[in-house]
Structure 1
């Protein structure tokens, strides 16, 4: 069976507007369900691909801070 998870996720959100995309992200994080992690990964991949170098550096900085906070709590 050829399951392309990335394509399935993109297909599920293809017609979503900004509010729906935000709700998807917020709900996935709030619920904390591990099954949502691949979808968040695909969304992050899209964001990363559309970002310039300055935006990428800001994301890395924020990620570093978040990792530090999460591991010291």
Structure 2
């Protein structure tokens, strides 16, 4: 029983570290490491990345935004590139 609890705690800590690393990279306008790119828009190269329970939008518009945004996948804000 102790081994099962230890494994669950370690997996939870690993998931939190993955989430925090991608979150901190988004705060510094860098692309995520552990999220998978799923879409690329033809507005200059805006990319959408999905991780476990989160989404990262890397804006690269020709005449617009050039930042990185971190969002929860449970909250829909009506994304328009």
Higher helix share: 1
User: Larger C-alpha radius of gyration, 1 or 2?
Assistant: 2
TM-score normalized with structure 2 length:
0.28
